[in-house]
Amino acid sequence: MEYDFREIERKWRKFWADNQVFKVEDNLAKPKYYVLDMFPYPSGAGLHVGHPLGYIASDIYARYKRLKGFNVLHPMGYDSFGLPAEQYAIQTGQHPEETTKENILRYRDQMDQVGFSFDWSREVRTSNPDYYKWTQWIFSQLFDCYYDENQNKAVRINQLIAEFNRAGNVNVKATHDCDRVFSAQEWSGFNATQKEAILQQYRLAFLADSWVNWCPALGTVLANDEVINGLSERGSHPVEQKLMRQWSMRIKAYAERLLNGLEKLDWTDSIKDQQRNWIGKSQGCSVIFETEDQQNSIEVFTTRPDTIFGVSFLVLAPEHPLVKSLTTAEFSEKAEEYIRVSSLKTERDRQANVKNISGQFIGSYAVHPFTGEKVELWIGDYVLASYGTGAVMAVPCGDQRDWDFARHFNIEIKNIFESVDISEGAHTEKEGKIAASDFLTGMTVSDAMNAAIQKIEEKQIGKGKTNFRLRDAVFSRQRYWGEPFPVYYKEGLPHIIDAKYLPIELPEVEKYLPTEDGKPPLGNAQVWAWDTVDNQVVDNINIDNQTVFPLELNTMPGWAGSSWYFLRYMDPHNHAEFVSKEKVDYWKNVDLYIGGSEHATGHLLYARFWTKFLYDLEYISFDEPFQKMINQGMILGRSSFVYRLPNGKYVSYNQINGQDVVPIHVDISMVDNDKLDIEAFKNWRSDYANAEFILEEDGSYICGHEVEKMSKSKFNVQTPDELIEKFGADTLRMYEMFLGPLEQSKPWDTKGIGGVHNFLRKLWRLFHDQEGNLMILDDAPSAESLKTLHKTIQKITTDLEKFSFNTGVSNFMICVNELTEQKCHHRLVLRDLLLLLSPYAPHITEELWEKMGYESGSINFTAFPTFNPEYLVESAFSYPVSFNGKVRFTVELPADMSKEDIEKHILGLEQTQKQLDGNQPKKMIVVPGRIVNVVV
């Protein structure tokens, strides 16, 4: 019987599904292991061969862990809210839910074909009301909390209110945006609106007017990580700054913990560094400069307090609140013009003109806190209003931008560094000694830093401070296809709908576009008001602002649902809680997370933030979601090209010979081994129907190729479906792993897939005789076969532990090659081989397992073979003998021979004497079991 992979794979997929083989119970008696893939957004394009790469790796690992006796949680779901479905809806009028469902069906079908061992009974979809009910609930918890910096955790807002009632906010240490200090008496005098306005400045989910990245083309705001070089991540549309009233998340409160938490995670340095940079902690100090007229004071933030005597001017952001009052009449016109011009610049313009130095003197001066000298005040848009204090002390000798600015505007450049030349640029290195700086003179930079901060604090003109680049995260989107907020507005104040009435389901709308008066799409909904008596969503006509109120029109961003989905898998059908304490205490956090590195500063940061928050409230017992993470590389496409000559003929690649040609992408399905199917090409498009060719000598047309990202427009997309049809899922799984290290990006090339397919056929033959009948021998295997087997057990095990899946495949090939040569048909060897291979190639191994007479469908729940080193003991070793490091010959010697004996033996050899050519060896290096080196 031949290896009929189609029949075999169909059979086992059905068996697994019918018997729910991979359904996992919360078996508290067994040790747990949680293997998770980043869940996909189900796009209309379906999966290409790049998508399953990570899923295959995680599936192999999950199956391996099961064989090792772990209770493995290995779920899958869909991040099913998102922009593409909504834009498709705008174009076609089709409800995003419909398209999303269709896409999910296609994804599921494609994933099923690969033979993954997901427990589909735990599937989650973020757009499912049963799911987003809890996303809304978590939002309401964030709304109900503030961050207490004394306890260093999130605490219920009631406790803050109690403190306000007791003593105002004088003693409160919390992360907040509140710039006023009030007493208990004042607090009790505030009305409800005033009180809530203040509370908003403390809540972890809060409403605030903030500068946001507004994308007019998409009609929505975007988070910082959704903006790349001033353009939207999706669609590359321009983004501008706009002041809007938006929901935000006070992620800043967690900056320090998000930074420190990275230490204990088993992630790549690259991702950790990206998060560190994004969080952007910088230590320094604030310094207050009094203005010359002593009417105002300007606070700056600096990381170089040691250079305070090098200050020659201050620069304020054009948006700085004091600019207006500090500008003298003489300069007001110029200053206003400068402010106007810079406000028109989008973030993108500002970035594009980084080299352009611009600024404006505003006519007044500050006073240097130590020297009492006058310091010019300037505005310049290289200073950002949103970072630090929105003002900097400029030290041209120590900072290149300040140096450029000073040079450009002809401002004095003081040198406060000992024997450093600053005529051609600033001295930015933190080394050397400080000069001409009063009490700092003669100190090293680091000593001077400490001394300066100490003095500044003594004089009460500032204090040591830590700044973070991390901004609070905007949480409102002007979209339809996202989670609605459980929020209604009463007298302009947001009120949270009680958890027992959740979910608040997305309303039906006629159009998915913003309303004519610029409200978000939910503004089109007819039934979108909250009845506080009946506690339900009712028609807008009932709004009386007495008992029925308008609901929030924004929806939540894409990262809301993906920030906690890994928890829901543990308890996906729980209607009473987002996850039960018992289950989350058993499964804990994800042991192995596999996904792309493009989520470094988005999803991975937000998920960590929400995890820490839920930990603070003691809903979960761990504060990092993903212990170990592997980022699979991108699989690139291999595009094929035909070349058109100016005369319209198509010339084969090797016949171009430097002629002027236009390369044209051709669909890779028409190309086999770079050879073009000419008929298919002619039939592809009408304008190619009469194409003429200049062919190779053998009459074929050879295409050129290039490695590029896979995309429809380049006709280089390879879907898994057609490969599975042609070679089977087991072949595809092993081939994707064989391509190279998981983390590396690599070009997709179908050429080698035949080699992997041959391997499986060869494996099949190992279990059968020449006539194709099953042939399993029950007598004792040879020592040689046992050696092959145990060598393989050892290698496969270490490869799996190192996630080196590509070398794993090689080692299987070596093993099967050796066993074939040994004509090994022994039960004991083949049984273990099947177990070893089953994580990689589950279908063929289930089939052979069953044929060998073992229980059907049990192979993934048996036990992984254990390595026995006894079988590998060698009696002899073939020593490479080198002279001055160059290997000249090898010699077979007993493995237990002593160093001295080896040395003697080698020296006595004729070959050695020949190599020595009459010279005396200076020295001999003998590494037992490794190498012999003779130094001449």
In whole angstroms, what separates CA 47 from the centre of its chain?
19
Among 218, 317, 635, 651, binds RNA (CB under 7 A): 317
Query: Could you identify the residue written with the tokens 């420190």?
Result: 260
The full length of the chain comes to 936
Binding to RNA by residue 234, rule CB under 7 A? no
Give residues with Cβ within 8 angstroms of 58, minimum separation 6.
35, 36, 37, 74, 592, 594
Nearest to 239 by CA among 347, 345, 382, 354: 347
What is the distance between the alpha carbons of residues 306 and 446, in angstroms, rounded to a whole number? Answer: 8
What is the distance between the alpha carbons of residues 359 and 356, in angstroms, rounded to a whole number? Answer: 10
Which residues inside 412-431 make contact with RNA, applying CB under 7 A? none
What is the distance between the alpha carbons of residues 727 and 753, in angstroms, rounded to a whole number? Answer: 8
Three-state SS at 879: strand
Q: 225 near 259, Cβ under 8 Å?
A: no
Binding to RNA by residue 801, rule CB under 7 A? no
What is the distance between the alpha carbons of residues 897 and 359, in angstroms, rounded to a whole number? Answer: 81
Residue 585 dihedral angles phi and psi, to the nearest 5°: -70, -25
Binding to RNA by residue 747, rule CB under 7 A? yes
What is the distance between the alpha carbons of residues 96 and 85, in angstroms, rounded to a whole number? Answer: 5
Give min distance, CB of 603 to RNA, in A.
13
Give min distance, CB of 875 to RNA, in A.
15
Give min distance, CB of 66 to RNA, in A.
25
Binding to RNA by residue 392, rule CB under 7 A? yes
| Token pair of 805 as six digits | 């899946």
Decide whether 70 or 409 has the Cβ nearer to RNA: 409
Give min distance, CB of 535 to RNA, in A.
43
Give min distance, CB of 702 to RNA, in A.
12
Which residues inside 449-508 make contact with RNA, applying CB under 7 A? 467, 469
Q: Between vectors from CA 837 to CA 745 and to CA 783, what angle results, nearest 5°?
A: 125
Binding to RNA by residue 601, rule CB under 7 A? yes
Binding to RNA by residue 876, rule CB under 7 A? no
| Token pair of 16 as six digits | 């697994």
Residue 357 dihedral angles phi and psi, to the nearest 5°: -95, 125
Decide whether 20 or 353 has the Cβ nearer to RNA: 353
Q: 650 near 691, Cβ under 8 Å?
A: yes
Decide whether 381 or 571 has the Cβ nearer to RNA: 381
Give min distance, CB of 278 to RNA, in A.
7
Decide whether 346 or 574 has the Cβ nearer to RNA: 346
Decide whether 99 or 467 has the Cβ nearer to RNA: 467
In this chain, which stretch among 119-127, 154-162, 276-284, 436-444 interacts with RNA, using CB under 7 A? Answer: 276-284
Q: Containing H/E element for 796?
A: helix 783-801
Binding to RNA by residue 303, rule CB under 7 A? yes
Binding to RNA by residue 622, rule CB under 7 A? no
What is the distance between the alpha carbons of residues 273 and 844, in angstroms, rounded to a whole number? Answer: 42
Among 232, 302, 555, 838, binds RNA (CB under 7 A): 302
Q: 226 near 333, Cβ under 8 Å?
A: no
Among 158, 356, 526, 654, binds RNA (CB under 7 A): 356
Binding to RNA by residue 745, rule CB under 7 A? yes
Give min distance, CB of 357 to RNA, in A.
7
Q: 247 near 554, Cβ under 8 Å?
A: yes
Binding to RNA by residue 886, rule CB under 7 A? yes
Decide whether 512 or 877 has the Cβ nearer to RNA: 877
Q: Beta strand pairing status for 205-215 and 240-249? A: antiparallel
Binding to RNA by residue 887, rule CB under 7 A? yes
Binding to RNA by residue 767, rule CB under 7 A? no
Binding to RNA by residue 309, rule CB under 7 A? no
At 386, which amino acid appears? S
In whole angstroms, what separates CA 24 from the centre of its chain?
27
Give min distance, CB of 356 to RNA, in A.
6
Q: 780 near 826, Cβ under 8 Å?
A: yes
Binding to RNA by residue 267, rule CB under 7 A? no
Decide whether 200 or 882 has the Cβ nearer to RNA: 882
Among 269, 697, 698, 917, binds RNA (CB under 7 A): 269
Give min distance, CB of 494 to RNA, in A.
29
Which residues inside 819-858 make contact with RNA, applying CB under 7 A? 820-821
**Ramachandran category for residue 230: left, alpha or beta (phi over 0 → left; psi -120 to 50 → alpha):** left
Decide whether 387 or 854 has the Cβ nearer to RNA: 387
| Token pair of 604 as six digits | 């991975």
In this chain, which stretch among 511-519, 646-654, 723-731, 732-740 interacts with RNA, using CB under 7 A? Answer: 732-740
Three-state SS at 361: strand
Question: Binding string to RNA for residues 692 to 731, with x set by CB under 7 A, is what?
Answer: ----------------------------------------
In this chain, which stretch among 82-90, 367-375, 451-459, 742-750 interacts with RNA, using CB under 7 A? Answer: 742-750
Binding to RNA by residue 787, rule CB under 7 A? no
Binding to RNA by residue 312, rule CB under 7 A? no
Got the DSSP string for 597-636? GGGTTTHHHHHHHHHHHHHHTTSSS-S-SEEEEEEPPPEE
In this chain, which stretch among 70-78, 509-517, 592-600, 867-875 interacts with RNA, using CB under 7 A? Answer: 592-600
In whole angstroms, what separates CA 866 from the centre of its chain?
36
Whole-number Cα distances in Å, 381 to 153, 227, 341, 594, 596: 36, 20, 10, 41, 36
Among 542, 669, 804, 862, binds RNA (CB under 7 A): 804
Binding to RNA by residue 625, rule CB under 7 A? no
Give min distance, CB of 302 to RNA, in A.
4
Question: Binding string to RNA for residues 185 to 224, with x set by CB under 7 A, is what?
Answer: ----------------------------------------
| Token pair of 764 as six digits | 């099949």
Three-state SS at 924: strand
Among 50, 75, 115, 390, binds RNA (CB under 7 A): 390
Most distant CA pair in the chain: distance in Å?
110
Among 184, 623, 890, 891, binds RNA (CB under 7 A): 890
Residue 706 dihedral angles phi and psi, to the nearest 5°: -155, 150
Give min distance, CB of 868 to RNA, in A.
18
What is the distance between the alpha carbons of residues 566 and 75, in angstroms, rounded to a whole number? Answer: 9
Binding to RNA by residue 814, rule CB under 7 A? yes
Binding to RNA by residue 746, rule CB under 7 A? yes
Binding to RNA by residue 403, rule CB under 7 A? no
Give min distance, CB of 103 to RNA, in A.
25
Binding to RNA by residue 387, rule CB under 7 A? yes
Give min distance, CB of 890 to RNA, in A.
5
Task: Tell me the site size for RNA, rule CB under 7 A.
Answer: 88
How would you class 351 by CB atoms within 10 Å of its CB: exposed for 0-12, middle for 13-18, buried for 19 or more?
exposed
Give min distance, CB of 86 to RNA, in A.
24
Binding to RNA by residue 341, rule CB under 7 A? no
In this chain, which stretch among 280-288, 483-491, 611-619, 724-732 interacts with RNA, using CB under 7 A? Answer: 280-288
What count of other Cβ atoms lies within 10 Å of the Cβ of residue 906?
Answer: 19
Binding to RNA by residue 69, rule CB under 7 A? no
Binding to RNA by residue 741, rule CB under 7 A? yes
At 444, which amino acid appears? T
In this chain, which stretch among 271-279, 503-511, 567-575, 825-833 interacts with RNA, using CB under 7 A? Answer: 271-279
Burial call 163-181: b when 16+ CB within 10 Å, e when fewer? bbeeebbeebebbbeeeee
